[in-house]
Amino acid sequence: MFLVLVTNRIIGKPIDYLSRCWNKQVKPISEQYLTFHFEENLNRLEHTFEPWQQTNYMCKGIISCNVNNFIKRDTLINGFRTSFSNTELSKTDFLFVNYGEKELSPVTKGMYLDQLIKSARYSPLAIIDYFFQNKVAINKGSNEEYALYITTINNVNVTLQIRKSDYLLNKIITLSYDELFGDVLTTFIFKDYNIVENIHYSKSISIEKYNGKVKDEVKISIPKLSTNVSRILIKPSNFEFSEDIEVKPAITLEKYNDNIYFLELKHTDDRILVVEFKDFMLVAEAPLNSKNGEVIIKEVKKIAPTKPIRYFVFGHYHPHYIGGIRPFVHKGAEIICSKIDEDYVRYLTDAPHTLAPDSLHSEFKQLKIKEIKDSLVIENGKIEMKIYFIGEESMHTKDYLIYYFPQEKLLFEDDLVWIEKEGSIKRAKSRQVGLYKALKRLNLDVKTIIQSWPVKDYGVKTVIPFEDLEKSMTAN
Ligand SMILES: [Zn+2]
């Protein structure tokens, strides 16, 4: 024994920080479950009034977990609204009932692996075990204070940062791909370690999402070891993972007149406006991601192969209109937007996309912004298009723009009118009233309104005679 110790010291056998961490945070659980209560302050980016605005939720519940199982029951509270979800994950299956649902949601293998990472916001034990079982080697980037271990789980780059002083997990850092934001770092910071039945666990976990732009806090309490945990969800006898569906672009072109075209993107349910001026093209809206932006550019080139796309404009900052902006910057288009969105546009177009490179990532181009204040007229040849800033009047976002063609008495807008295809016209809700008031204030003579989204879903008209909008102001 003495000899072994001496030999180790002489050849300096490196300390295996990962297995020491595993010994402290995972091993003592063995076949049992670590059960605890949690309460979290959860912030989400949703389709809100302005970029980076967060919607705050309180969430609380009970979790039982070990290396092969993760069982969570929780209650999500947003103002007066309360909803529930249930998650039961084992070595072979993943049952999940989402908020507001009664039935099991379809799950894919990818979602199963993602759940491993998601569970880290409450307990890192499954991830530590994953690294330990896969014998991930220590990374050269380790320093005096921290040992680093890095691997890839379902296309997500995952780093464990273990404290060398006490072998406890300090951070998990993930780098994942988001189709809007590009490379996205999420950091889980484990604080306030405590011990229950020889298991070291963190009582307080901070999560920094979207490269630190959005922060959550999770508090853990009443931990205990239990041998038997009851399950609520019943596994269907025909349970199987659904396939990850690859979305194939489906696009059709509609010529409105000699200068105005609409591209319908069936796979995203969006309608894109393309205007052909004498010397150049303008595109309004590009949904969700760079791929769609590229697809739109290809179609525009078919309409007018030699004319450059001089302008790209989006009606408001929600992903269905701005998500495909980057390829337009790459093509040298000027981005028309108000001051409100300038920083956001800069963020989206500066964002690295190393995990799924697009044209702008591979070949960087300087962003060119053309600021719109109250309105902007684009005139070239005999064609005239007017863009108006209606902002909060839209009752939807602070940055709202609408497009008007005086010769055609045509208005194109994103998502303000919700008149059902069938049945009588109902009383307008706030967005629709907002648009009507804006049109009256601007004194625009409109015959037809064409809407960008939705095109087919939701059973609403998206080519709307102005009289319909007018009727909805006074309808019952
Ligand atoms: Zn919207």
- State the distance from the centre of ligand 1 to the C-alpha of 255, rounded, in angstroms: 25
- CB of 203 closer than 8 Å to CB of 194: yes
Q: Which helix (H) or strand (E) holds 110?
A: helix 109-118
Give residue 384 CA to ligand 1 midpoint distance, Å: 26
At 141 the pLDDT is 94
What is the per-residue pLDDT for 128? Answer: 97
| Residues above pLDDT 70, as percent of the chain | 98
Per-residue pLDDT at 358 exceeds 90: yes
Instruction: Residue count of the chain, please give it.
Output: 476
Residue 228's pLDDT is 85
- Gap from CA of 83 to ligand 1 centroid (Å): 24
pLDDT higher than 80, residue 52: yes
CB-count exposure of residue 269 (10 Å: 0-12, 13-18, 19+): middle
What's the pTM?
A: 0.91
The two domains 14-226 and 257-474 share their CATH topology (first three levels equal): no
219-271 residue pLDDT tens = 999 999 999 888 888 888 888 888 877 888 899 999 999 999 999 999 999 99
Domain 257-474 classification at class level? alpha beta
Is 14-226 CATH 3.30.420.40? no
Please confirm whether the linkage preceding 454 is cis (ω < 30° from 0).
Answer: yes
Return the H-helix or E-strand segment holding 39. strand 33-45
Q: Name the CA radius of gyration of the chain, rounded.
A: 27
- Alpha helix locations (H) across 212-357? 290-303, 319-322, 326-330, 339-350
pLDDT digits (tens, 9 = 90+) for 374-393: 999 999 998 999 999 999 99
Lowest model confidence (mean pLDDT) among 112-126, 158-172, 282-296, 325-339: 112-126
Q: Which amino acid is at 221?
A: S
Count other Cβ atoms within 10 Å, centred on residue 291. 17
Distance from residue 394's CA to the centre of ligand 1 (Å): 10
Ligand 1 centroid to residue 297 C-alpha, Å: 23
Confidence of residue 1 (pLDDT cuts 50, 70, 90): very low
pLDDT band at residue 456 using 50, 70 and 90 as cut-offs:
confident
Domain-wise residue ranges, the chain: 14-226, 257-474
Q: Indicate whether 62 pLDDT > 70.
A: yes
User: How far apart are the C-alpha atoms of 19 and 166, rounded to whole Å?
Assistant: 12
CB 150 within 8 A of CB 161: no
Sort residue 12 into left (φ over 0), alpha (ψ -120 to 50) or beta. left
What's the 27 CA to ligand 1 centre distance in angstroms? Answer: 49
Instruction: pLDDT band for 11, please (50, 70, 90 cuts).
Output: low
d(CA 205, CA 188): 7
